Structures are given as C-alpha cells and as structure tokens.
Amino acid sequence: MSAPTIVQVDPMGGRPPRTGTWAVFAMPGVGWLIALFVVPVYAVMAVAFGSVDPILRTPQPAWNPLAWDFSAMSSLLDRVFGGDLGKVFLRTFAFVFLALAGCVAIGYPVAYFVARKASRTRGVLLALLVLPFWISYLMRMLAWTNLLQQDGYVNRMLQWLQVMDAPRNWLDGDWPTVVIGLVYGYVPFFILPLYSALERIDGRLIEAGRDLGASAFRTFLRITLPLSIPGLMAASVITILPMMGDYYTNSYLTSGSPRTEMVGNQIEYFLRGSSQPQTGASLVLVLMAFLLVLMVYYLRTTLKAQRESER
Amino acid sequence: MTSSRRQFLASSARLGVLLGAGVPLLNACGGDGGSSRKKQTEPIADGLPPEKGPLRIINYADYVNPEVVANFEAKYGVKVEISTIDTDSEATAKLASGALKVDLHHSMVSTSIGNLIEGGLIQPLNRSYLTNRGNVLNAFDDPPYDPGAVYSVPYTFYGTGLGYRADRIDPAEVEAQGWDFLWNATKFKGQVSVLDDEREAFTMAMLRKGITDINTVDPAIIDQALADVTELIDLLNVKVNIEGYKDIPEGTTSLAHIWSADLIGGAASYLPEGVTADVLGYWHPPTKQYVVNNDMMGVLANAENPVLAHLYIDYLLDNDVSELNFSWNGYLPALTKLDADYVINAGYVPENLRNCVPTNDDIAKGLRYKALGPDGDALYEAAWSKFTAGG
C-alpha cells in the first residue's frame, strides 16, 4: 500500500494574485495617514525649525527644509538633557509608569474575568466598560475634584472606614492624586484591547494544562500570561501614548502645582500661552522621539512573538 | 473651476493641520490675515448705517452678560456670534491667521494691543459713533498702551493684590507685611496660589523687593524674581492658577495672588450657602506701587461690520447697560458713574471689598504693564517655564 499523497490546493486557482485590487483598498487608509499624520508632523517640524513674526509673535513656518533653523531645538535640548526640563520629562515618565502599573493591577483581572469567566454577563460587563466614554474626560476629572475635596466623599469614606483620622488634602499638588487620575482616566483604554487578546486565547490550551496536572495558578502563569503578552503590550502602548501628552489631568487635580507639571503642560504653555511656538513644536518633536523608541520596541516584540507563534 | 479646486485643497490642508496639530499650527499655515477684504487703516466715515450683521465677536467665555447681548440683538435687529478663546495669544494667533473672521475683539490686553496695532489687525475708532465715550473714567483718555485712546475703549479694569480668607487671616497682618505675607504664609501650606501669568507673578516678586520698574527686561532682575517665586514651591506648595475667584470663597484656598475684579465676582457667585462676604479680604499695595490693568475692546481692521462693532462698543459704554453687565459677571466697567460708592450702595460689592474697586487715581498714578518686545517676552517666558517645571 502506497503512502497517501498530500494534494495542495491553490485557492487562487493558479491565477496570479491581483495585488492592484488590494492596493486600492489600502488607499483610504494611506490617504488618512498622509492627511492626518504626515502633513501635521511636517507642519510641526516647519514650525519648530521656523521663526516667529516679530510683531504678532505668530509662527512663521519654514516649509523648505533647506531654510530650517535649529536654534530653538538646540536650546531646548540643552534644557531637556541636564536642564530644568529634564526633570519634567523624568516626572512625566514616572507618573506614566506608575499609572501603567495601576492600569495593569486593575485592568488585567477585570479583562481576564470578562474574557474567560463571565460568559453570560459578558455583554453587560463590556457595555459597562465602555460607559465612561459616554462622559467627557474633562467632566470626569471635574467630578474627581469634587470627590477629592477635603469635605468630599473620598475623605468621608476613608474616615468612616477609619483609614485616616483627619481629612487629607488630596488636591494640594501631590503626585499620588495625579497618578490616581491617570489610572482612572485611561484604564478603560487598557482593558478593552487586553480583553480582546485574552478572549482569543484557545481554551483547549488551558484545558490541556489543567489535564496535565498544573494548578490553576500555574496554568495561568505558564499558558495564559505568556499568550496575553502581545495584548498586554498593545494595551500598554495605547495607554502610554496619550498619557505622555496629557496636560489636563494634573491641571485639574492639582490646580496647577509646579510639583506635578508634565511635558504636556509645557507644550501647552509654549504653543498656546507664549510667544515661542517654535519651542513648543520642538518639545512635541522631542516627546515624539522618546515615544518612537517605545513604539520600535513594541513593534519588534510583537513581530518576534508573531514569528514564534507561526513556527 | 480652478479657483474652487484650489479653495478645496487649501481647506483640506487647513482641516488636516487643525485636526492633527491644533490652532497654533493652523496659524502657521495662515496667510496675511486671511480675509480678502481690504484692511481699514483710517477710521470709518461718519454717519454710515449699521450693517445687517451678524456681528462677530471674539471673547473669553462668560465674559459678557447674555442678557446684554440679547438686548443689543433686539435693539439693532441683528445676530451676535461670539467665538471664545482661552488665552490672549490664542486670540492673536486666530486673528492673524485669518482662521477666524471677526468684527470686534472684546478683550484685548495692554501687553499685546501694541502688537495688534503695529500688525495692522485693528482699526482706529470713529468717536462719532461712540456717543457714550464720555462716560469712561478720564484716566483712560490717554492710556500708555494706546496713546490718545485711538484704537481702544476699556471694557473692564482691575488691580492685582492678595485675596484672603479674613476668617483665617488677620487683615492687620496682611496690611503690615504686604507682599511678604505671601512668603510668610507657611501656616497655610497647600492653600496658597499665585496667578498663572508670568508678568503678574514676577512683578509681585519685584515689588516685594521694592523694584517698581515692572517692565524691566534686565535678566538679573528677572532671574532674582524667578528665584523668589520658586521659593514658594517648597515653602507653600503653591498652586499656579487663576481660580482664586472661586477657591477663596469656597474655602479651598486661604490666600491668593488675585485680580481684584475676580474677588468681587467670587463674592457674588461662589460663597457657600450660609457664608457671608465678611469672610473675604483684599489687600493691594499703595497707589504708586499698585498694578492696575484693563481689558479693552477694539474693531478689527478687516471687520465686515465695522459700524455695528462701533455701536456694540457704544452700547456697552452706556451706564445702565454696563451696570446690567456688571451685575451678572462682576467685572468692573471703567465708567465714572459706577465708582466704589455706587457699586457698594447698589449692593454689588460688599463694603469690606471696597478696595477691590480701583479709583481713577489708581489708574492715573499706578503701575501699568507695557509690551516688552520679542526678547523681553522670551526672557519672561523662559523664566516662567522654569518655575512651572518645578524650579
């Protein structure tokens, strides 16, 4: 008896793939990217390396790269590396890192529960997760300023639970309030992509782990967690990017304390409140450069994970 | 067809930049002021009939009583459209780029009106339309920011001082220590704020040290002012905002560097139920060291409704209209009739806040900000950026 022959079927029926058709589908996306990313970024560069109208103090962008003036960027870099703005960058990174840790601590269990355990109530829970998006971010932050007042509900609750003897002044410009605000504001952005990744994990792999004698915790540690890493990375990127440019959370929750100033506040000041828009635009580019490093790391990690899963 | 395609491309580019990078960058793409309408460099002719509108105004949010606006609309049978801004530089950027077509700038400030005049963005006023101009305090007849008051009319005026909770702080102590009181208020750490304005904050530090040249561009003096204001971060955990008008009445702030008109407005609107205005106090330096400022109205050089804009200004200079406006927003009009006695007797200002109403003498003899020029602005802004970064 001869061995069975494996017949490979060509889904295209031997015809060459019509790549042109697919390229047409990509055009709206490419157009969108050019109009809303490439052009604005170039405009930022033209402002950063341009000049300012000496009378009206409005930006005079240099559209021709040969005419770019790097003096504003140069002085800014001096302030970022070794100057006062370096402190602001470090503070921003610290706030964002702590807020991300908070998002993981709160968001992962929630996403895991909704994806793996809440089969009947999943729809309701997902709706509840999306609910905060119905209310403006600023309104939610304003609500927190009321909750965190000295005679607000947070202090009353903590005193009732006997966690504190006297009310704490949450809004007096301390960093924990900013981190709490960032976690609260961005945790829904973290949960949704993570939920999506956890929900796609093949349940049979988890069952196999349990069948082979692993405890629930060990199964989670050896199977679920590694398989959720790409989702975790995506969720982290989605939350880190807006948090890095955030300037209203700390403004609202600490009433403009210099102790909680973030990079976004400096950008806002230079672009909207000063006569040096080129400094603000340069700051945008520096922040983008930092974020680009994170993005490259994310893309490399996800590509590596993808290749391994395809082996 | 060619021109419409060009218009489409221009609009698309502007939309893309606006969505992606905001107004300052849109401004960067702007042209020569935007409007194809000829710029008015001379006052408009006498006796012209009012246009049909709509009258377009650029202003801060909630800066004028909606009832006043509605009454103007009814009187002249026109619509009034108000575009709001958050900062003075935002207004200049929008007007310079032509991103916004406006007839009237409602809230110009003394530090930038010179730029608007020099940049040809506003037109000289024709006083024949301003029949109520005589109601204005005479100290505004020849203001330093607009010699001869050719281009502007004051809208509201105010001084800069210290607002405080008189039920927590002894007024005699504030009076005795003046600006030093702010640096000594360690007992109120976490409950103190300074104005989110580089000129105001550094001027406070200069005046504290006896420097009255508040328009200095001497880097050494500005650096010293920066060092002094930075001290407040550790001493008081100071907040930087313009919210003293509500934070003091509500009690979350005990001491604030504040504009006097804001405290009047706060007393009217933000005191919790059962709390009277007696809990509020205000201190300002003696007249010759008192910084008094005003916002002013002017007509855009490319206004499509310049007559209507003049009539609106004149309407707001009417004593009764101005009183109605003041009763709503608490911003003192610079009119002779509405002096301290009048607004106190009418019940708009509590007696204990009498000194929140600057006098004609305060304006004439007090300190006034002037435009500093690009280098001067850059010095103050760099110092401010350092302070808000944490020192």
Tens digits of residue pLDDT in B7-49:
433 443 333 333 334 444 444 444 444 444 557 688 899 999 9
Q: Which residues of B touch A88 (CB under 8 A)?
A: 389-390
**Subunit contact A43:B240, Cβ cutoff 8 A:** no
8 Å CB contact between B128 and B46? yes
Structure tokens at B123: 């037109």
Question: In this complex, which of B13, B29, B87 lies closest to A273 when CB atoms are compared?
Answer: B87
8 Å CB contact between B153 and B160? no
A155 shares contact with chain B (CB less than 8 Å): no
Lowest mean per-residue pLDDT among A26-40, A132-146, B287-301: A132-146
Instruction: Output the average pLDDT for chain A.
Output: 87
| Exposed e or buried b per residue across B264-299, where buried means at least 16 C-beta atoms within 10 angstroms of its C-beta | bbbbbebbeeeeebebbbbbbbebebbbbbbbbbbb
CA–CA distance, B215 with B377 (Å, rounded to integer):
10
**Subunit contact A58:B28, Cβ cutoff 8 A:** yes
Amino acid at A11: P
Q: What is the pLDDT of residues B267-284, one digit of tens each?
A: 988 999 999 999 999 999
Tell me what pLDDT residue A140 has. 86
The position carrying tokens 């328009």 is: B215
Distance from the B87 Cα atom to the nearest Cα atom in chain A, whole angstroms: 6
Question: In this complex, which of A41, A56, A269 lies closest to B115 when CB atoms are compared?
Answer: A56
Question: In this complex, which of B28, B191, B389 lies closest to A85 when CB atoms are compared?
Answer: B389
Question: In this complex, which of A44, A173, A274 lies closest to B25 when CB atoms are compared?
Answer: A44
Structure tokens at A233: 């990375």
User: Could you give the count of Cα atoms lying within 13 Å of A285 in the half-sphere of its Cβ?
Assistant: 22
Place A18 in a pLDDT band, splitting at 50, 70 and 90.
Answer: low
Place A62 in a pLDDT band, splitting at 50, 70 and 90.
Answer: very high
Tell me what pLDDT residue A88 has. 94
Amino acid at A297: Y
Beta bridge partners of B239: B193
Beta bridge partners of B283: B162
Number of H helices, E strands in chain A: 14, 2
* A80-94, A120-134, B76-90, B306-320: range with highest mean pLDDT: B306-320
Distance from the B38 Cα atom to the nearest Cα atom in chain A, whole angstroms: 19
Tell me what pLDDT residue B19 has. 37
The rounded Cα B48 to chain-centroid distance in angstroms is 31
Q: Which residues of B touch A57 (CB under 8 A)?
A: 89, 92, 115, 374, 377
Ranges of residues in chain B with a pLDDT under 50 are: 1-36
Tell me what pLDDT residue A6 has. 52
Question: In this complex, which of A91, A172, A270 lies closest to B237 when CB atoms are compared?
Answer: A172
Torsion of CA B281, B322, B272, A145, to 10 degrees: -100
Nearest CA in chain B to A146: B252
Amino acid at B272: P
How many other C-beta atoms lie within 10 A of the C-beta of residue A300? 10
8 Å CB contact between B237 and B190? yes
Q: Which candidate in B14, B89, B117, B247 is best for mutational testing of the A interface (most A CBs within 10 A)?
A: B89
| pTM higher than the cut 0.90 | no
How many other C-beta atoms lie within 10 A of the C-beta of residue A163? 10
Q: Which of A43, A106, A103, A49 is nearest to A74 (CA)?
A: A49
Lowest mean per-residue pLDDT among A57-61, A84-88, B218-222: A57-61
Tell me what pLDDT residue A11 has. 55
Give, for B164, the enclosing helix (H) or strand (E): strand B153-165
Tell me what pLDDT residue B210 has. 94
Q: What share of chain B is helix, strand, coil (3-state, %, to 5)?
A: 50, 15, 35
Lowest mean per-residue pLDDT among A52-56, A289-293, B299-303: A52-56
Q: Which of B247, B256, B263, B241 is nearest to B182 (CA)?
A: B256
Tell me what pLDDT residue B231 has. 96
Indicate the angle between helix axes A225-244 and A277-310, nearest 10 degrees: 170
Tell me what pLDDT residue A10 has. 58
Would you say how long chain A is, in residues?
311
Tell me what pLDDT residue B38 has. 59
Instruction: Assign A159 to helix, strand or coil.
Output: helix
Q: Which residues of B touch A85 (CB under 8 A)?
A: 385, 389
Structure tokens at A126: 């997902």
ipTM for the complex? 0.84
Tell me what pLDDT residue B233 has. 95
**Subunit contact A272:B90, Cβ cutoff 8 A:** yes
Structure tokens at A73: 């960027």
| Cis check: omega of the bond before B54, within 30 degrees of 0 | yes
B389 shares contact with chain A (CB less than 8 Å): yes
Tell me what pLDDT residue A172 has. 80
Q: Which residues of B touch A56 (CB under 8 A)?
A: 92, 96, 115-116, 119, 121
**Subunit contact A269:B384, Cβ cutoff 8 A:** yes
Question: In this complex, which of B92, B240, B381 lies closest to A256 when CB atoms are compared?
Answer: B240
Structure tokens at B297: 């109205």
- Per DSSP (E only), the strands in chain A are 51-52, 59-60
CA–CA distance, B189 with B185 (Å, rounded to integer):
7
Q: Which residues of B touch A168 (CB under 8 A)?
A: none
Burial tier of B61 (Cβ tally within 10 Å: 0-12, 13-18, 19+): exposed
Place A251 in a pLDDT band, splitting at 50, 70 and 90.
Answer: confident
Q: Which candidate in B239, B273, B275 is best for mutational testing of the A interface (most A CBs within 10 A)?
A: B239
A302 shares contact with chain B (CB less than 8 Å): no
